[in-house]
């Protein structure tokens, strides 16, 4: 999932410094983005969903945060 986020970072000006963490026991993935000034925080879940699709994640669940 990090690779699609890095690709989005190169062509998008709204965020930088994506990180991805996993917890196999909890079956969770944590995504962190540094939003740049003027960025709409409400757009962050859409960015994560966009990156998740190439990683094989279906869009059934919205990220929480």
Domain boundaries, given as residue ranges, for the chain: 2-52
Q: E strand or H helix at 16, and its extent?
A: strand 15-23
Q: Integer distance in angstroms from the first to the last C-alpha of the chain?
A: 18
The 10s digit of each residue's pLDDT in 12-22 is 778 888 889 99
pLDDT at 65: 47
pTM of the model: 0.62
What ranges in the chain are assigned the alpha helix state H? Answer: 2-11, 44-52
């Amino acid at each position: 999932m990090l690779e699609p986020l890095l690709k989005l970072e190169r062509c998008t000006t709204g965020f930088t410094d994506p990180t991805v963490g996993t917890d196999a026991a909890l079956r969770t993935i944590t995504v962190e983005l540094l939003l740049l000034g003027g960025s709409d925080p409400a757009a962050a879940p859409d960015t994560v969903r966009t990156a998740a699709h190439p990683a094989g994640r279906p869009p059934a669940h919205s990220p929480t945060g």
